[in-house]
């Protein structure tokens, strides 16, 4: 098989099986993607494409396979979110301050993927330091969603964020799969906006070592893929204990693909009443009800549950995340990494570097974070937010007494235009209303494309599971996917 459109339409699992059957080579597959990346460069999904490296890696992969030595991701060309440090390849985190920063080390997760045989197509675009829900805060320009609204008059739409480049690449067929990171929804929301599967595993499942830190108690890496099986395969390759990350958890990585039995009979699915928000489009609510019916038809039991502290999740997140960010970003001072803008003395150099190097949203977060951590406000904001975070985690803990998983919408809207929320940070933060609670509680949560809105734009449903319940989440997600039978392909796919 050599037709390039056919190659680009393969899922990761299908490509793996054809590679194993020697029907295609990694070089052929990789070349098809390199060509697609060039043809669809206007999506701006990549900050740094690495075609030469990709070809070298693909050749090496084909050679390994010929020797009978093939890993779980052998020969599969993927996008790597630019938040992962990659040895010898510029890693910017979407920020001007890290422009030109070329790490001398490899993040654990990207290293795991290369060890499993994956091929790197390039570093994908993202919101600056992963702060955003639209990919509009990247220093390297907006990313376009490959989907267009039927009534939108060709107005470009955001792919969601912060992993917008990865989402656009996978949806637009510029990568077979990609990595994302999720602090408050950055894997799940862009997956929902672009009609792909995004899985944030349990906090501690994937190592954070070598990932540029945003909010360390929330950040988690996860796969962004075309379907649930691909998510299972890729998570298996990414996950694992890492002694270099003290919050990574020492438990064996299960065979996630084997969890996709299609059988959820007797599984209890919780439907939390607090996730019904005023003003959300009727289509979102309708899809949620449809999702409940699909799972019921597959033999699950539906349970009404309550997560009473849900309404505090967003304000809590927007205190905790900026607080940690302000501290994590203190290291960008013009001395050690990337950009330096000179001044009349050392303090002046710090100020100039940070003023020029950080974009507006990042500066806003550093200001908010510094404020909530300052003497006099620490107790009123940060400490209180920490306490509420505990209550939110406890809500979930109690819910697991009566259900095995929780079903909710992923986001309160479909993809929006570049200008729609750009001047209103609060409207932007509201995007995260359904994704942030699971992040605060450290729980695994997946977004599955489940339907289209009236404009033909993708909508996602979210399944949240108990800590280390990835197999259950994937199993139910597989059932949801089969029932939804989502087949829409974007207008701007390569
Ligand atoms: N949209 C959220 C924020 O701006 C979440 C981002 C993320 O998960 N990295 O903080």
pLDDT digits (tens, 9 = 90+) for 295-354: 999 999 999 999 999 999 999 999 999 999 999 999 999 998 889 999 999 999 999 999
Which mutation among 83, 128, 132, 138 tests ligand 1's pocket best, with the greatest number of atoms within 8 A of CB?
Answer: 132
Burial class (CB in 10 A: 0-12, 13-18, 19+), 168: buried
Residue whose CA is at the smallest distance from ligand 1 atom 10: 131
CA of 374 to the centre of ligand 1 (A): 23
Task: For domain 1-494, give the CATH number.
Answer: 3.90.1300.10
The answer to whether 156 and 168 have CB atoms below 8 angstroms apart is no
- All structural domains of the chain with their residue ranges: 1-494
Nearest to 239 by CA among 228, 223, 217: 223
**Model confidence at 1: pLDDT above 50:** no
Q: Map tokens 């734009």 to a residue.
A: 457
Which of 125, 127, 164 has most ligand 1 atoms within 8 Å of its beta carbon, as the pocket-test mutant? 127
Task: Say if residues 144 and 23 touch (Cβ distance below 8 Å).
Answer: no
Ligand 1 center to 133 CA (angstroms): 6
Question: Which residue reads 């438990």 in tokens?
Answer: 251
CA distance 51 to 448: 30
Q: How far is the centre of ligand 1, averaged over its atoms, from the C-alpha of 367 (Å)?
A: 16
Average pLDDT (8-18) is 98
Report the pLDDT averaged over residues 121-144.
Answer: 97
Q: Which residues contact 441 (CB under 8 A, 6 or more apart)?
A: 392, 393, 395, 396
pLDDT score for 420: 87
What's the 435 CA to ligand 1 centre distance in angstroms? Answer: 9
The predicted-structure confidence for 414-444, as pLDDT tens digits, reads as follows: 999 998 887 788 878 888 999 999 999 999 9
Is-contact 344 352, C-beta < 8 A?
A: no
Nearest-angstrom CA–CA distance, 187 and 181: 6
pLDDT tens profile 195-251: 999 999 999 999 999 999 999 999 999 999 999 999 999 999 999 999 999 999 999
Ligand 1 atom index nearest CA of 161: 1
For residues 486 and 141, is the Cβ–Cβ distance under 8 A?
no
Pocket of ligand 1 (CB under 6 A): 130-133, 162, 182-186, 214, 321, 432
- Mean pLDDT (the chain) is 96
* Site to substitute for ligand 1 among 126, 185, 317, 413, most atoms within 8 A of C-beta: 185
Please return the burial class of 336, using the count of CB atoms within 10 Å of its CB with bins 0-12, 13-18 and 19+.
Answer: exposed
Catalytic residues: 81, 162, 186
pLDDT at 391: 98
Give just the sign of the alpha carbon dihedral 165, 86, 201, 263.
Answer: positive
What gap in Å lies between CA 139 and CA 182, rounded to an integer?
Answer: 19
Contacts of 377 (CB under 8 A, 6+ apart): 371
Cβ–Cβ under 8 Å, residues 95 and 39: no
Indicate if the pLDDT at residue 2 is higher than 70. Answer: no
Task: Kindly give the distance from the C-alpha atom of residue 364 to the centroid of ligand 1, in angstroms, as a whole number.
Answer: 14
Predicted TM-score (pTM) of this structure: 0.97
């Amino acid at each position: 098989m050599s037709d390039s459109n056919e190659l680009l339409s393969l899922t990761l699992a299908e490509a793996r099986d054809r590679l194993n059957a020697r029907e295609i080579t990694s070089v052929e597959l990789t070349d098809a993607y390199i060509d697609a990346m060039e043809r669809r460069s206007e999506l701006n999904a990549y900050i740094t494409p690495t075609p030469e490296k990709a070809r070298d890696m693909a050749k090496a992969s084909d050679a390994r396979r010929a020797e009978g030595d093939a890993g779980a991701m052998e020969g599969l060309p993927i996008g790597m979110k630019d938040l992962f440090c990659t040895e010898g390849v510029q890693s910017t985190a979407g920020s001007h301050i890290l422009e030109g920063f070329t790490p001398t080390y490899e993040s654990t997760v990207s290293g795991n993927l290369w060890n499993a045989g994956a091929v790197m197509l390039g570093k994908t675009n993202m919101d600056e330091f992963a702060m955003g829900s639209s990919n509009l805060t990247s220093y390297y320009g907006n990313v376009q969603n490959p989907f267009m609204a039927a009534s939108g008059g060709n107005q470009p739409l955001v792919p969601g964020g912060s992993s917008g480049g990865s989402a656009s690449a996978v949806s637009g067929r510029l990568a077979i799969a990609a990595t994302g990171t999720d602090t408050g929804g950055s894997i799940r929301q862009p997956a929902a906006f672009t009609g792909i599967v995004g899985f944030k595993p349990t906090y501690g499942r994937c190592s954070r070592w070598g990932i540029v830190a945003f909010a360390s108690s929330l950040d988690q890496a996860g796969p962004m893929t075309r379907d649930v099986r691909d998510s299972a395969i890729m998570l298996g390759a990414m996950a694992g204990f890492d002694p270099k990350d003290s919050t990574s958890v020492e438990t064996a990585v299960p065979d996630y693909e084997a969890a996709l039995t299609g059988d959820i009979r007797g599984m209890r699915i919780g439907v939390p009443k607090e996730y019904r928000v005023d003003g959300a489009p009727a289509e979102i609510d309708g899809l949620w009800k449809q999702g409940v019916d699909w799972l019921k038809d597959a033999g699950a039991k539906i349970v009404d549950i309550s997560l009473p502290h849900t309404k505090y999740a967003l304000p809590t997140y927007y205190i905790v995340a900026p607080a940690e960010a302000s501290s994590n970003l203190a290291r960008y001072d013009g001395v050690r990494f990337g950009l330096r803008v000179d001044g009349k003395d050392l303090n002046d150099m710090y100020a100039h570097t940070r003023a020029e190097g950080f974009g507006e949203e990042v500066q806003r977060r550093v200001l908010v974070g510094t404020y909530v951590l300052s003497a006099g406000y620490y107790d009123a904001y940060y400490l209180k937010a920490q306490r509420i975070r505990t209550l939110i985690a406890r809500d979930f803990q109690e819910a697991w007494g009566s259900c095995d998983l929780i079903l909710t919408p992923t986001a309160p809207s479909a993809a929006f235009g570049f200008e729609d929320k750009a001047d209103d940070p609060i409207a932007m933060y509201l995007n995260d209303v359904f994704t942030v609670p699971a992040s605060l509680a450290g729980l695994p949560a997946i977004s599955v494309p489940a339907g289209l809105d009236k404009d033909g734009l993708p909508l996602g449903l979210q399944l949240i599971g108990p800590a280390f319940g990835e197999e259950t989440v994937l199993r139910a997600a597989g059932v949801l996917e089969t029932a939804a039978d989502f087949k829409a392909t974007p207008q701007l796919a390569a």
